[in-house]
């Protein structure tokens, strides 16, 4: 029997990525940074790609380490695949954000 992959409420497939997304989405500074990226994509009429969110990933990891200095090991050791997943999930969420904010 094939075991099914766990998918968290954020769409993440790992606990570390899920935690980092939840942290990002609940931290005002990080939400503002995410929205700046979203607004740049709208202004440039640019389709979102995962690489657009690498700066958000870096900010999120650094902020997480600053906020939780003794429990950051999981986030700082994200694999390249997990880092890509974090960025890709934000690229995917861009269209939802766009429609919720009145953009076409």
Query: In the predicted model, is pLDDT for residue 11 greater than 80?
Result: yes
Alpha helices in 26-79 (DSSP H): 28-43, 54-67, 73-76
Q: According to the model, what pLDDT value does residue 77 have?
A: 80
Q: According to the model, what pLDDT value does residue 72 have?
A: 65
67 Cβ neighbours under 8 A, 6+ residues apart: 23, 27
For residue range 13-66, list pLDDT tens digits in order.
999 999 999 999 999 999 999 999 999 999 999 999 999 999 999 999 999 988
Question: Apex CA 98: angle with CA 63 and CA 61, to 5°?
Answer: 10
CA pair distance 57, 55, nearest whole angstrom: 5
Residue with tokens 């919720």: 100
- Say whether pTM exceeds 0.85: yes
Q: According to the model, what pLDDT value does residue 4 have?
A: 65
Handedness of CA 57, 63, 34, 75 (dihedral sign): positive
Query: In the predicted model, is pLDDT for residue 1 greater than 70?
Result: no
Q: According to the model, what pLDDT value does residue 50 have?
A: 95
28 Cβ neighbours under 8 A, 6+ residues apart: none
Between 17 and 1, residue with greater pLDDT: 17
Question: Apex CA 30: angle with CA 26 and CA 32, to 5°?
Answer: 105
């Amino acid at each position: 029997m094939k075991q099914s992959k766990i998918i968290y409420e954020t769409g993440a497939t790992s606990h570390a990525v899920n935690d980092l997304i939840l942290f990002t989405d609940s931290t005002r500074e990080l939400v503002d940074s995410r929205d700046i990226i979203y607004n740049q994509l709208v202004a440039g009429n640019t389709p979102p790609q995962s690489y657009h969110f690498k700066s958000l990933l870096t900010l999120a990891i650094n902020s997480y380490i600053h906020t939780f200095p003794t429990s950051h090991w999981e986030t700082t050791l994200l694999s390249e695949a997990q880092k890509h997943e974090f960025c890709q999930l934000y690229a995917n969420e861009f269209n939802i954000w766009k429609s919720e904010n009145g953009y076409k």
